[in-house]
Structure 1
Amino acid sequence: MIFLGLCQSVLQYGISVWGSAGKTTFIEIERAQRAVIKVMLKKPFRFPTDQLYKEFPILRVRQLFILSATLRTHKAIKNRPDYQILLSKRVLHVPLPNAKSLLARRCPSYSHTHVYNQIIKSYNIKGLNDGLCKKKLKKMLISLSYDETELIIN
């Protein structure tokens, strides 16, 4: 509860804007998150990261971005006038905005839709209400490894 209240709330603040930043930008934030968890669990400095997240099942920073982006896009899709048409399709795919540069692909309007399309390919969240969608996504994201998380974003 302390971690969620003090640390994760700070990490989630503004994650929809800076969450699609490059992998190297996140290294410092991820290290800080791991350091806090290691101190809370009284683990040594060189404790393995994968084992740390198995013992303390919380979302990594990149997974927080995926959760935030997917939930925001899911809510936005439900408010679209063509929502029923999208639901009737066998494969749900939300069209991406036109982005020709790498900088444009880092903008929330593009990155959120991209992440949502990646999630919807593998996990059926189509037609779920917001609460069920969030529970299913959290459960799925906690089970992913670091590399699998990066595949969703890239």
Structure 2
Amino acid sequence: KSAKSIPKASNLHIHSYPCNRQISTNTPCFCPILERVSNIKYLGINIDDRLSWKIHITSVAKRLRKLIFKELRAVCDKTLLIQTYKALGECIITYCINSWRAAAKTHILELERAQRSLLKVLLCLPFRHPTTAVYEMVDVITVRQLFIFLCIKRYHATVVPYLPASDARRQRFPAPSARSRIAQQHFNFNAPRLYKYFNTV
């Protein structure tokens, strides 16, 4: 049979050491079976079998929308509202963002819509208020800009202590190459390229 005609295994049976020794006998096996699933949750991150991060981003957007407290804006001023958003909202958005930010823009847009909805409710703005004006009013950045900022910040902390002493105005940073799309979504591929780009600006 060809490789395409062989069905994929739906589970993985891992035997314990005592059971493995008696596998040739008729003794019944009670070892647990690991079944195949389309996604798992590990350390608060939803990882799907295609690494599209759609399930995780949808989960983050739902958690962000739960922070929409209309009663809070009646007892707090604008400064306290923005501080509350940065303490709670950005904490949810930036958790492991270096892992899932390389998802498709259509998935990221769902999270940015939840972010804008939260900001508009906090500031009593109409639903159709211009997006650019919202971010300028509260002095916060979008989800994509948050990823770029944290990506450069993390890479800067790891690469600067190991740079050789040089009198050159601009340092040269080697940017890795990758052919597969999954590899191009990784932090080790994006971070050097972003750092190199902003270093030459």
Please, what TM-score do these two structures have when normalized by structure 2?
0.56
Which ranges of 4 or more aligned residues in structure 1 deviate by more than 2 Å? 87-93
Distance 1:15 1:98 in 2: 22
Spell out, residue by residue over 1:17-72, the C-alpha distance to the aligned partner (whole angstroms, 9 max, x if none). 11222322210010000000000000011111011111111011111101111011
Q: Which residue matches 1:57?
A: 139
Equivalent in 114, 119, 126 of residue 193 of structure 2: 114
Q: Percent identity?
A: 31
Spell out, residue by residue over 1:87-108, the C-alpha distance to the aligned partner (whole angstroms, 9 max, x if none). 5444323112231122211111
Name which one, 1 or 2, has greater alpha-carbon Rg.
2
5+ long unaligned stretches in structure 1:
123-154
Spell out, residue by residue over 1:72-93, the C-alpha distance to the aligned partner (whole angstroms, 9 max, x if none). 111111232xx024x5444323
SS of the residue corresponding to residue 79 of structure 1 reads helix
Give the partner amino acid of 2:186.
C
Q: Which residue matches 2:111?
A: 29
Work out whether residues 20 and 65 of structure 1, in 8 Å CA contact, stay in contact via their aligned partners in 2.
no
SS of the residue corresponding to residue 21 of structure 1 reads coil
Please, what TM-score do these two structures have when normalized by structure 1?
0.72
Give the partner amino acid of 1:109.
N
Distance 1:93 1:18 in 2: 28
Aligned residue pair count = 119
1:113 CA displacement: 1.2
Q: Which residue matches 1:103?
A: 182
Q: Which has the higher strand share?
A: 2
CA shift in 2, pair 1:88/1:22, >3 Å: farther
Equivalent in 99, 119, 123 of residue 17 of structure 1: 99
- How do 1:5-154 residues align onto structure 2 when only pairs under 5 Å count? 5-80=87-162, 83-85=163-165, 87-122=166-201
5+ long unaligned stretches in structure 2:
1-82
Q: Which has the higher helix share?
A: 1
